């Protein structure tokens, strides 16, 4: 959307904390310097599935300088999890993937930690391993969690095992409608596991305090859930745990799901510190992370769609099998979202989908950047191109024929306030030059659309505290890892209070002081903290204006704050400085403290009433396929988005470009590779291939005017939706270039060449 | 862990004699540092980085003498290498990131004896010689004999690679090094193919065709049957196709996390064809018909 | 066995002890306190720990600490001129190339080394200089923009 009449909003103010980062100040968790801290480390299972017969820690404990050795036996008999409470702080009785934490050590040095971990003797009784998400559902598969029931909502008569989540979509009568279709396309797609691979390793540090409390430092996206889980797993009362968020070097949801995402690192560290009665810091190694922290799951998707000859979609049936890994993690939520999104965001009156989230002996699913969405969209939007081809229609025209309009429902959204899908499609078509650009040999253009459902979810608050010089200190519950906290949030405060962003300090999260928040996840920073901080700043402003009104002999409504001056509207010479009012406020109300919150219930009620405001996107790629090697080169990539009102253009573009790049990595080369024993074959960056600058074009992010979202000033979330279309977009471009449809990720040279050869090309 | 910084070759050799299998030689460190981090520390580390004059690159006896401590980037920056050993230069240029090329040494790449080592297939094709030194004397041997298996060389645990002699290729020869990887220089090669050839007098046929294959056998290998198949002949599409298939049949690739053996065979085929076509075009000025 | 080495970092001379197997990145961060050198992959693949060693960018995670004896090192902390940021640092801020910022020091060091070599780098030069630096946040577009801006301001 166009920049409205704002002073600060819509500009590209420098990132808060930017200078510290470019000169190399130690702002991250890994830079934490905790005096007298012991080093900590975790012993991880070397079996993907085994009974723990015995753990002998005596030799490790006997090493001089080793201060604590802990196992599950040292912690309360309490488990954690989201939909399934299925996991202990350290594995008890059984291990369920290679990398499952079994024991932990704190010692005077890292070398001693390594030595002690090597001296812990674990006796395992290996069990059969299942790594394939389809195999695990069969009767013959080993049981991964003996005491976890099948989901209560599982339809009657379904014979499955190792299922920890079920989601269905039932709209209209898909079976009957399918019979009426002129054209039916039935396909199967498969995606692989990727790791978010934020560059800063996970850390946790814990210090027992004199008063019996414990302070935990974490580079986690969700400090409050970390507090809850640390308290519960160590047996401390909640108010005895304080979690402080450090600066965070990337997360992408990988650091997002409470202690699940770190494989229990924070509570393990707290347990070590409580046992050793000394501070402890654990820094994970990146290779250790690849095998143990949460990932974007692989899944298998069956999708069948019927359409009329003119391209009108009539019915869709499908199934998703979503791999949660050794524990449920975020699997149920991500698998459910994936199942919904395979249903799509087009006008489609009859849909039936079954979604199963399953346990396997692999790393655990986390809420990685658009959980479930990129996988679903790889299948759904590739499938839309297959349908267009079967119908003999132009892929853009076919999609335009079926875009939802204002008032329509899409899966998961009963009523749309408006729709911008067509606008993004048409813009993408124009920007990539569809039908205009002359394609060379083995070159092709592909499109894929995307949506990301926002709205429902926890609320969250903000506090804006005015200082006597007119500056503002802001408490929110979202952390700074380069999204809204250092960009949009200070801009909103500055805009409302008539000050500069230089006058605004946004504090990182400290659970003792910050408002509660579910975590910096779900593209919700602006929706939750943006709305909250706007109201908090307005509350502060109103208090200030009330105090100034007396001095200026005007009513508060007639006052405004411009450039740190409070003035009478239309008579700027009648003014008083913001600082003087804040200072004088000490004698009246003490501090000016503004409070605001995002009211999720009210927001949902508004959505029911007026329809909900969703972001939409279309990506377009021009690729060249090397038919001899299968190598795919992206020559041009355009990401067109409706993200509502844009507070900080470069920050929004950066989110879109980064999200797209991450999924382009998954499209072309990224995957965590396992053997049949459940061993990760590419734990280090030597063979875990993320995009480097030489394999990507300059991704072009384009924002269209669209329509306003539910965020402050009409923003919509921008952090995840950019990761939704790229895999399908590249697959469709390959199809356009070669006539060959690749249905399995990654679209690596090998998989592409294999498909070309199988097609006789 | 014991640590030594010998100042001479003989000092280094006596340390290797003394510590045997316990000793690990470190030069640039780009591989050894990863081993130290992720495997057990060696009993003793012999850092040869400070032995003087082991990084020279100079013309010698109708070829180029390369000191094993020359970094990959020093090879790239050497006019002698760029102009006289373009095949090696191309391999150096596709060898990992600039940061790694500034650190990794050619000796380290060779002694690591990874089948995918970037400079190895080119050295085979260039028919370079390894100068191998033990405490009881030195010898030179062709790299075909030097490489004995993955991570295995004729140095054993007591020898040191003290020089690399690369004869100048025949005047008028042309060579290409083709690396197959998703991220180009940044990845370990799935396959590397080095092709070098000359043309006969009237530019109607290729002479002395040499083909080296990397990452598709326990050691880097030549493809002698394919070389014989195309040497002395004019290239046409059918012969190129036959040569690609022949080179693939001379490889014995394994399946690992980077790709399947079957796919590596396809790539040997493709890159051999491409290399031959490029040589043919450069040498004769004609496309393969 | 502790090994004592003497080296120069950002113009400051340090003499310190290290275990002989220590990687340079750990020595710089943990012993000398140069926390701007970022630890990440430990395999020389991501470039977060890039420093300039005797004029050349290297990954300090795969350099033996002992090899820094007598060396002249530049880390990200040594690139600004007092409070005056280097044009590359300023350009990273101005173009939005700093998101989480964890890869930023490595990029800045690699690019400073590039711009020390040439004032008007070609696209190939830029690609070569920073292909060994992984950024997971930006998708690189804003980093390309930053390089363009810095080169423009310096020429």
CB distance A684–B267 less than 8 Å? no
Which letter does DSSP use for residue A265 in this model? H
Same domain, A48 and A98: yes
Chain B residues touching residue C53 (CB < 8 angstroms): 102
The verdict on a CB contact (< 8 Å) between A31 and C35 is yes
Supply the CATH classification number for the domain B175-284: 3.30.390.50
Please state the length of chain A.
Answer: 761
User: Could you tell me what percent of chain C has a pLDDT over 90?
Assistant: 97
Give yes or no: residues A357 and A394 share one domain: yes
Chain A residues with CB-CB distance to C42 below 8 A: 285-287, 684
CB contact under 8 A, C3 and B3: yes
End residue of a domain, out of A402, A426, A441: A402
Domain locations along chain C: 3-78, 87-154
Torsion of CA A590, A592, A598, A601, to 10 degrees: 50
Which residue on chain B is closest to C24 by alpha carbon? B33
Mark yes or no for CB contact C100/A18 under 8 Å: no
Q: How far apart are CA B128 and CA B166, in angstroms?
A: 4
* CA distance linking residue A257 with residue B153, whole number of Å: 49
B289 falls in which pLDDT band (50, 70, 90)?
confident
Chain C neighbors (3+ CB pairs < 8 Å): A, B
- The chain B residue lying nearest A751, using CA atoms, is B263
Do residues A283 and A136 share a domain? no
- Chain B interface, Cβ < 8 Å to C: 1-3, 5, 26, 28-30, 32-34, 36-38, 41, 45, 47, 49, 73, 96-100, 102-103, 183-186
- Tokens read off for A526: 């602006």
Quick check: A85 and A68 in contact, CB under 8 A? no
Q: Does A482 lie in the same domain as A600?
A: yes
Judge: C20–B49 Cβ closer than 8 Å, yes or no. Answer: no
Note the pLDDT of residue A761: 83
Asked if C57 is an interface residue toward chain B (Cβ–Cβ < 8 A), one would say: yes
Q: What is the mean pLDDT of residues B78-87?
A: 98
Task: Say if the ipTM goes beyond 0.85.
Answer: yes
Which CATH architecture does the domain made up of B55-167 adopt? 2-Layer Sandwich (3.30)
Cβ contacts (< 8 Å) between A695 and chain B: which residues?
A: 182-184
Same domain? A110 vs A218: yes
| C138 contact residues in A (CB cutoff 8 A) | 654, 657-658, 661
Residues A380 and A398 in one domain: yes
Structural domains counted in chain A: 3
pLDDT above 70 covers a percentage of chain B that reads 100
Last residue of a domain, one of A246, A269, A292: A292
Considering only CB atoms, which chain B residues are within 8 Å of C23?
33, 36-37
Tokens of A631: 């190598």
Q: Is residue A210 part of a domain?
A: yes
**CA distances (Å), C110 to each of A475, B98, C120, in order?**
36, 9, 15
Report yes or no on A347 lying in a domain: yes
Interatomic CA distance for residues A261 and A76, integer angstroms: 20
Do the domains spanning C3-78 and C87-154 agree at the CATH topology level? no
pLDDT at site A453: 81
Coil/strand/helix, residue C4: strand
Question: Which of helix, strand or coil describes residue C80?
Answer: coil
Give the gap in angstroms from C-alpha A628 to the nearest C-alpha of chain B: 6
Question: What DSSP element (H or E) covers C15?
Answer: strand C12-18
Cα torsion through A734, A739, A741, A746, rounded to 10: -30
Query: Can you tell me the distance from the alpha carbon of A593 to that of A579, in angstroms, rounded to the nearest whole number?
Result: 14
**Cβ-Cβ contacts under 8 Å, B258 against chain A:** 687
Q: What is the CA radius of gyration of chain A?
A: 27
- Partners of B33 on chain C (C-beta within 8 Å) are 23, 44, 61-64
Query: Chain B, 241-260: which have a CB under 8 Å from a chain A CB?
Result: 256-260
Counting one residue from chain A and one from chain C, the pairs whose CB atoms sit within 8 A come to 180
Please tell me whether residues A565 and A509 are part of one structural domain.
Answer: yes
Q: What integer pLDDT is reported at residue A609 of this predicted model?
A: 93
What share of chain B has pLDDT > 90, as a percent?
A: 97
Gap from B242 CA to chain A (nearest CA, Å): 15
Say whether C76 and A23 touch across the interface (CB within 8 A): yes
Q: B98, C128: Cβ pair inside 8 Å?
A: yes
Task: Quote the pLDDT of residue A4.
Answer: 57
Q: Do A311 and A385 sit in the same domain of this protein?
A: yes
CATH of domain C3-78: 3.10.20.30
Determine the Cα–Cα distance for residues A255 and A749; give it in Å rounded to an integer.
Answer: 31
Q: Is C1 on the interface with B (CB under 8 A)?
A: yes
Cβ separation A201–C40 shorter than 8 A:
yes
In this complex, which chains have at least 3 CB pairs below 8 Å with chain B? A, C
Q: Which is nearest to A514 in space by CA: A486, A474, A487?
A: A474
Q: What is the DSSP letter of A24?
A: T
**Distance (Å, whole) CA A478 – CA A506:** 10
- Write the pLDDT tens digit of every residue in C31-71: 999 999 999 999 999 999 999 999 999 999 999 999 999 99
Whether residue C1 is predicted with pLDDT greater than 60 in this model: the reply is no
The residue-averaged pLDDT of B146-162 equals 97
Q: Which chains contact A through at least 3 pairs of Cβ atoms less than 8 Å apart?
A: B, C
User: Per the CB < 8 Å rule, is B185 touching A694?
Assistant: yes
Nearest residue, CB atoms, B102 vs list C19, C57, C67: C57
Q: What is the pLDDT of residue B36?
A: 93
Rounded Cα–Cα distance for residues A168 and B52 (Å): 71
Rg (CA), chain B: 19
Residue stretches of chain A with pLDDT short of 50: 1-2
> Looking at the structure, do residues A182 and A221 belong to the same domain, yes or no?
no
Residues A99 and A227 in one domain: yes
For an interface test with A, the pick among C101, C124, C145 (most A C-beta atoms closer than 10 Å) comes out as C101
Q: What residue segments make up the domains of chain B, in order of their start? A: 55-167, 175-284
Contact: B47, C66; criterion CB under 8 Å: yes
Tell me, yes or no, whether A172 and A184 share the same domain: yes
Distance CA A666, CA A660 (A): 10
pLDDT of residue A1: 42
Residues whose CB falls within 8 Å of the CB of residue A657, separated by 6 or more in sequence, listed in order: A639, A699, A701, A722, C138, C139, C140, C141, C142
Beta partners for residue B65, in sequence order: B58, B165
Residue among B5, B73, B99 whose CB faces C50 most closely: B99
**CA-based nearest distance A200→chain C, Å:** 6
* Contact between chains at C66 and B97 (C-beta distance less than 8 A): no
Residue-range definition of the domain harbouring residue A368: 129-194+295-402
In the DSSP assignment, the letter for residue A74 is G
CA atoms within 13 A on the CB side of A134: 10
Residue C4's pLDDT is 96
| List of chain C residues whose C-beta atoms are within 8 Å of the C-beta of residue A684 | 41-43, 45
Same domain flag for A239 and A165: no
B-chain residues within 8 Å CB-CB of C62?
A: 28-30, 33-34, 100, 103
Q: Please state, rounded to an integer, the average pLDDT across all residues of chain B.
A: 97
Least CB-CB distance to A200: which of C90, C102, C132? Answer: C102
Q: Is the pLDDT of residue B207 over 80?
A: yes
Tell whether A270 is covered by a domain: yes
Give the Cα separation of B115 and A542 in Å (integer): 72
Class of C87-154 per CATH? mainly alpha
């Amino acid at each position: 959307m166009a920049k409205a009449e704002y002073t600060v909003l819509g500009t590209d103010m420098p990132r808060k904390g930017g200078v510290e980062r470019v000169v190399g100040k130690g702002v991250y968790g890994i830079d934490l310097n905790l005096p007298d801290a012991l080093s900590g480390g975790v012993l991880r299972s070397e079996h993907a599935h085994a009974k723990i017969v015995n753990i002998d820690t005596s030799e490790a404990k006997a090493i001089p300088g080793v201060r604590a050795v802990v196992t599950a036996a040292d912690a309360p008999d309490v488990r954690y999890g989201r939909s399934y409470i299925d996991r202990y702080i350290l594995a008890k009785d059984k291990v369920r993937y290679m990398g499952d934490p079994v024991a932990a050590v704190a010692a005077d040095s890292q070398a001693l930690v390594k030595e002690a971990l090597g001296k812990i003797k674990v006796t395992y009784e290996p069990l059969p391993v299942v790594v394939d998400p389809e195999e695990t559902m069969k009767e013959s598969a080993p049981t991964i969690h003996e005491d976890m029931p099948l989901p209560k909502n599982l339809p009657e008569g379904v014979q499955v095992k190792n299922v920890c989540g079920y989601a269905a979509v039932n709209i209209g009568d898909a079976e009957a409608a399918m019979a009426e279709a002129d054209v039916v396309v039935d396909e199967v797609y498969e995606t692989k596991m990727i790791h978010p691979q934020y560059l800063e390793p996970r850390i946790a540090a814990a210090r027992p305090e004199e008063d019996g409390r414990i302070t935990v430092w974490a580079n986690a996206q969700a400090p409050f859930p970390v507090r809850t889980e640390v308290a519960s797993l160590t047996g401390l009362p909640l108010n005895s745990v304080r979690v402080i968020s450090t600066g965070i070097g990337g997360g992408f949801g990988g650091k997002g799901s409470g202690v699940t995402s770190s494989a229990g690192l924070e509570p393990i560290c707290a347990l070590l510190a409580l046992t050793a009665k000394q501070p402890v810091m654990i820094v994970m190694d990146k290779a250790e992370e690849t095998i143990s922290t949460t990932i974007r799951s692989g899944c298998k998707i069956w999708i069948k769609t019927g359409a009329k000859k003119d391209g009108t979609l009539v019915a869709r049936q499908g199934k998703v099998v979503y791999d949660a890994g050794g524990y449920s993690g975020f699997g149920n939520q991500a698998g459910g979202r994936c199942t919904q999104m395979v249903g799509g965001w087009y006008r489609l009156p009859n849909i039936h989908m079954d979604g199963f989230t399953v346990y396997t002996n692999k790393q655990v699913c986390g809420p990685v950047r658009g959980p479930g969405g990129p996988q679903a969209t790889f299948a759904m939007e590739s499938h839309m191109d297959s349908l267009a081809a079967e119908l003999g229609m132009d892929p853009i025209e076919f999609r335009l024929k079926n875009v939802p309009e204002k008032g329509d429902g899409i899966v998961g959204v009963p009523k749309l306030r408006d729709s911008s899908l067509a606008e993004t499609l048409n813009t993408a078509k124009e920007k990539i030059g569809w039908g205009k650009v002359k394609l060379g040999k083995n070159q092709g253009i592909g499109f894929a659309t995307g949506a990301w459902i926002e709205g429902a979810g926890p609320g969250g608050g903000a506090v804006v505290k005015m200082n006597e010089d007119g500056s503002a200190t802001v408490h929110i519950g979202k952390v700074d890892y380069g999204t809204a906290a250092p960009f949009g949030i200070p801009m909103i405060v500055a805009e409302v209070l008539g000050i500069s962003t230089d006058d605004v300090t946004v504090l990182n999260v400290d659970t003792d002081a910050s408002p509660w928040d579910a975590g910096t996840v779900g593209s919700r920073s602006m929706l939750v903290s943006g709305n909250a901080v706007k109201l908090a700043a307005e509350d502060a402003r109103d208090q200030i204006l009330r105090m100034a009104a007396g001095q200026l002999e005007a009513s508060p409504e007639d006052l405004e704050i411009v450039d740190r001056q409070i003035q009478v509207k239309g008579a700027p010479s009648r003014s008083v400085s913001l600082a003087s009012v804040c200072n004088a406020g000490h004698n009246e109300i003490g501090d000016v403290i503004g409070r605001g919150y995002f009211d999720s219930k009210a927001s949902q009620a508004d959505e029911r009433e007026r329809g909900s405001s969703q972001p939409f996107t279309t990506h377009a790629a021009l690729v060249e396929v090397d038919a001899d090697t299968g190598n795919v080169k992206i020559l041009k990539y355009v990401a067109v988005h409706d993200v509502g009102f844009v507070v900080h253009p470069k920050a929004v573009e950066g989110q879109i470009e980064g999200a797209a790049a991450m999924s382009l990595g998954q499209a072309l080369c990224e995957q965590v590779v396992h053997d049949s024993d459940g061993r990760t074959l590419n734990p280090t960056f030597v063979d875990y291939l993320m995009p480097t600058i030489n394999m990507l074009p300059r991704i072009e992010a384009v924002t269209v005017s669209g329509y306003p979202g539910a965020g402050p000033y009409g923003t919509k979330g921008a952090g995840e939706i950019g990761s939704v279309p790229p895999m399908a977009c590249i697959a469709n471009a390959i199809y356009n270039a070669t006539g060959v449809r690749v249905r399995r990720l990654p679209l690596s040279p090998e998989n592409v060449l294999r498909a070309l050869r199988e097609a006789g090309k | 862990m014991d640590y030594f910084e010998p100042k001479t070759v003989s000092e280094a050799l006596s340390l290797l004699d003394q510590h045997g299998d316990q000793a690990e030689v470190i030069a640039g460190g780009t591989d050894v540092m990863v081993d130290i981090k992720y495997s057990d520390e060696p009993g003793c580390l012999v850092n040869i980085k400070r032995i003087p004059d082991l990084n020279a690159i100079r013309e010698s006896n109708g070829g180029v003498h390369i000191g094993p401590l020359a970094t990959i980037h020093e090879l790239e920056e050497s006019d002698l290498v760029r102009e006289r050993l373009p095949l090696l230069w191309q391999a150096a240029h596709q060898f990992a990131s600039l940061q790694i090329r500034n650190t990794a040494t050619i000796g380290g790449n060779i002694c690591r004896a990874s089948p995918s080592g970037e400079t190895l297939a080119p050295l085979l094709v260039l028919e370079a010689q390894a100068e191998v030194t033990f405490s009881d004397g030195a010898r030179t041997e062709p790299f075909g004999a030097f490489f004995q298996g993955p991570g295995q060389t004729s140095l054993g645990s007591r020898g040191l690679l003290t020089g690399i002699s690369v004869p100048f290729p025949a005047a008028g020869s042309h060579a290409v090094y083709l690396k197959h990887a998703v991220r180009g220089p940044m990845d370990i090669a799935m396959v590397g193919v080095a092709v070098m050839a000359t043309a006969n007098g009237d530019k109607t046929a290729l002479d002395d065709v040499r083909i080296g294959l990397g990452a598709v056998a326990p050691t880097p290998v030549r493809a002698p049957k394919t070389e014989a198949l195309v040497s002395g002949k004019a290239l046409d599409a059918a012969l190129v196709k036959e040569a690609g298939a022949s080179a693939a049949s001379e490889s014995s690739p394994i399946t690992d996390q980077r790709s399947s053996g079957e796919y590596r065979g396809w790539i040997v085929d493709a890159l051999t064809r491409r290399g031959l076509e490029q040589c043919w075009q450069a040498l004769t000025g004609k496309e393969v018909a | 066995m502790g090994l004592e080495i003497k080296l120069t970092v950002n113009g400051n001379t340090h003499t310190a002890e290290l275990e002989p197997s220590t990687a340079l990145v750990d020595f710089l961060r943990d012993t000398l306190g140069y926390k701007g050198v970022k630890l990440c992959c430990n395999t020389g693949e991501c470039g977060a720990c890039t420093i300039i060693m005797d004029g050349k960018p290297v990954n300090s995670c795969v350099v033996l600490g002992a090899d820094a004896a007598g060396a002249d090192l530049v880390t990200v902390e040594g690139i600004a001129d007092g409070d005056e940021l280097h044009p590359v640092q300023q350009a990273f801020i101005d173009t939005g190339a700093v998101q989480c910022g964890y890869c930023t020091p490595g990029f800045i060091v690699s690019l400073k080394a590039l711009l020390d070599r040439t004032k008007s780098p070609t696209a190939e030069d830029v690609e070569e200089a920073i292909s060994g630096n992984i950024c997971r946040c930006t998708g690189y577009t804003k980093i390309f923009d930053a390089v363009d801006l810095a080169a423009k301001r310096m020429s």
